[in-house]
Structure formats: structure tokens, C-alpha cells
DNA sequence: GTACTATATGAATATATTATCATATATGTT
DNA sequence: AACATATATGATAATATATTCATATAGTAC
């Protein structure tokens, strides 16, 4: 928890609760929002081991191409995925170890309880 | 990642992607949904070190009592918080170490980048 | 250039979510 | 019983979100 809680008044005995600053709150919220939708979780889970093209993702997960593309844009904006181009095909892969780790932890936690 | 990926056809060389089962997907989604709202994050963050009554939460975080109550119900349904009664006052505290741990990790990650 | 394929995008719709207000319920006190 | 206080709940309205369809864009081959 680091040192998030400190006195910021001058009463020696009283500890005042120190809120999360607005930007941290926003970043944390966004990270979890990315993982709060089943489609995005399925996509990230698919990308765990290897890269896939947009159409491959759509086929494997039985989703519309446009649905996948919209969600990939969402994930790309948060820098949770990246892509490389090969001709007209874009291969997407995950790009945030921390988020993938948290997803993995939570999946395993859910599987074992 | 455990053994989430297995063959389930009879082609010896081909590995077929094994999807998350529906219930796991649901549980994981719900857990992250709990953390995808700034009000709920603020409440859980407040509860990190000690219990608070509903009115205390509302005062400290500058929220309406009914907003806090609604969100606490949400968190209680997911068993992320519990409460004890003292007279007419209900003291809420967190009740899921795994989720609090993930929240903590993500806050620290956000703070240090 | 045209044709083909892969992906992205905009608009619309449907659904979900959140905060608020007003009120109900529950507990304690007199 | 009446009253005060703490919390919960239902209804509503505002906002956000996800999916779909239709179409646009970008790259490749000819």
C-alpha cells in the first residue's frame, strides 16, 4: 500500500484518510473497465499465448468482424493490445503484462473456487 | 495458466483453443465490473484499513447516503464487503482478499508509472 | 486503373449502469 | 405508543456501453 495514508492536518494523533488522486482513480477505473466486459475478456484470453488476426478472432470466438474491431480499438486505446501488419492482415497481441497477469490471476481464482 | 488449453478433437498435432467456460467468464466479468466504477473503487479503497459505517463513508467521500447504500448492496451481493451491526449502525468492511489484492496491485501500478 | 480482401468506422438501436429523490424499514429511546 | 436516527429500497432520469448494419478505407494483385 506504500505511503498513501499520511497526516495532512496538524493534529498529531488524528490520521485523516487520504483519497486516491483523480488521475490515479481514472486510470485504475479504466483498467478494470477494460476487463469488465465478457467480449473483451474472451479476446484478451485468446491472445494470452499467441497473436491472432481480426478475422481469426471473430471466427474462433463467433463474433462479428465489426464487434471485434470495435473492441480491439478500445483495447488499443488503453494500450492493452498492439498489432503488426502483414499485407492487409493485422495481427493483434497483448501489450500489458500487468493487466494480463491480473486477468490470469482472476481466472485462476475463479476456476479454483 | 494451469491446464486450460487441451486438445478436444482427435487431431494429434493440432491444438484447438479452449474457451473459458461460461460460468468462469461470468464470475471474472462480475469481479472486474465491481472494480470498474470510481465510486466503488473509492469505497473499497476507503475500507482497505478499517471498517466504516454507511454514513461515515458518505461523509468522507462526499457521496449521498443512498448512493453509498446502493453501491454497498452491489458489493455485498458479490461478497466483496460484509457488515456488522451495532445498534442501528452498520459497519462495513472488505470481505475478499483476492479482490482487495488486485485493487491494491493496480493502484500501485498506476501510481508508479 | 479494377477487383479483391482485411480491417476500420459511423450511425442507430438496445441494454446496462449510475445517481438522485422520495419513501420505507429497522432499531433504539423515552 | 411516538419519535429520532441509520440504513435500505423503488422509481426515475441521465448517461454510458455493446452490438449490429452499412459503408469506408487501406493494402495487394492483376
- Least confident interval from A90-94, A98-102, B11-15, B54-58: B11-15
The answer to whether the CB of B57 falls within 8 A of the CB of B48 is no
B1 or B16: which leads in pLDDT: B16
Q: How many whole angstroms separate alpha carbon A47 and alpha carbon A74?
A: 15
**Interface touch A111/B2, C-beta < 8 Å:** yes
Tell me: pLDDT of A56 over 80.
yes
- Look at residue B32 and tell me if it is in a domain: yes
**What confidence tier does B15 reach under pLDDT thresholds 50, 70, 90?**
confident
Domains in chain A, number = 1
Q: How does A39-69 read in b/e, with b if 16+ C-beta sit within 10 Å?
A: bbbbbbbbbbeebbbbebbbebbebeeeebb
Question: What pLDDT score does A13 carry?
Answer: 61
Give B48-91 pLDDT, tens digit per residue: 999 999 999 999 999 999 999 999 999 999 999 999 999 999 99
Q: How many whole angstroms separate alpha carbon A45 and alpha carbon A50?
A: 10
- In chain B, DSSP assigns E strands to 52-53, 81-86, 89-94
Spell out which residues of chain B touch residue A106, defining contact as CB-CB under 8 Å: 28, 31-32, 98, 102
Of A25, A28, A110, which is closest to B28 when you measure between CB atoms?
Answer: A110
Domain residues for the domain of A103 are: 22-111
- Domain CATH for A66: 1.10.10.10
Question: What pLDDT score does A2 carry?
Answer: 45
Amino acid at each position: 500500500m506504500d505511503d498513501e495514508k499520511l497526516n495532512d492536518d496538524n493534529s498529531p494523533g488524528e490520521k485523516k484518510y487520504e483519497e486516491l488522486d483523480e488521475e490515479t482513480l481514472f486510470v485504475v477505473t479504466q483498467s478494470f473497465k477494460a476487463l469488465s466486459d465478457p467480449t473483451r475478456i474472451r479476446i484478451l484470453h485468446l491472445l494470452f499465448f499467441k497473436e491472432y488476426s481480426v478475422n481469426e478472432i471473430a471466427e474462433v470466438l463467433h463474433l462479428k468482424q465489426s464487434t471485434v474491431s470495435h473492441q480491439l480499438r478500445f483495447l488499443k486505446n488503453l494500450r492493452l493490445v498492439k498489432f503488426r501488419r502483414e499485407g492487409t492482415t493485422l495481427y493483434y497481441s497483448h501489450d500489458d503484462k500487468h493487466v494480463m497477469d491480473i486477468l490470469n490471476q482472476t481466472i485462476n481464482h475463479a476456476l479454483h473456487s
